Amino acid sequence: MKHAKQFFSAGIIAISLFMTTGAFAQDAVKVDSTHYKVEFENDQVRVLRVTYGPGEKSVMHEHPNAVAVFLNDVQGQFTFPDGTTVPVATKAGQVIWDQGGKHLPENKSDKPFQVIVVELKGKPAVMKKD
């Protein structure tokens, strides 16, 4: 009986840790489908359309390495898991590389914006020679 109680306690702790860490590393489309829509996906990339209205913000989520193409000007802010914030200002047509990671984005302007995010998956495909 003593071992059963220890096993049960260890199981509860493991589940709690999983749920806590999972909340900070979730897929943007799953946790914020209001702002993130999948436009295209295959085994190499996932293309997201990200749309924020004036003053809107997301929840903490994570992206892999990606390229972002801004469709209009953006005045925003990223909040990171440690609480630090970084202002973001981009122009329409600007393209940036993002190493990926966890963040909470926020539109700090009174205008909506859209960005296309091309998330990279795994290793590049090997080209077959015919």
Q: Is-contact 93 42, C-beta < 8 A?
A: no
Please report, for the domain that includes residue 50, its CATH number: 2.60.120.10
Q: Is-contact 120 64, C-beta < 8 A?
A: yes
Q: Once rounded to an integer, what is the mean pLDDT over residues 63-83?
A: 97
Q: Output the CA torsion sign for 36, 65, 89, 102.
A: positive
Predicted pLDDT at 110: 96
Distances (CA, A) of 43 to 31, 34, 76, 124, 130: 22, 24, 31, 9, 21
Residue 110 lies in a domain: yes
Q: Report residue 94 as tokens.
A: 């600007």
The count of structural domains within the chain is 1
The pTM (predicted TM-score) of the whole model is: 0.76
Residue 130 lies in a domain: no
Residue 17 lies in a domain: no
**Full domain range(s) for residue 65:** 26-120
Among candidates 62, 49, 51, 55, which has minimal Cα distance to 108? 55
* DSSP per-residue letters across 82-126: TS-EEEEEE-TT-EEEE--EEEEEEE-SSS-EEEEEEEE-SSPPP
Residue 101 has pLDDT above 60, yes or no: yes
Predicted pLDDT at 122: 81
Q: Tell me which residue has tokens 């909470």.
A: 104
Q: Report residue 72 as tokens.
A: 């209009």
8-58 pLDDT tens trace: 443 333 333 333 334 445 999 999 999 999 999 999 999 999 999 999 999
Residue 71 lies in a domain: yes
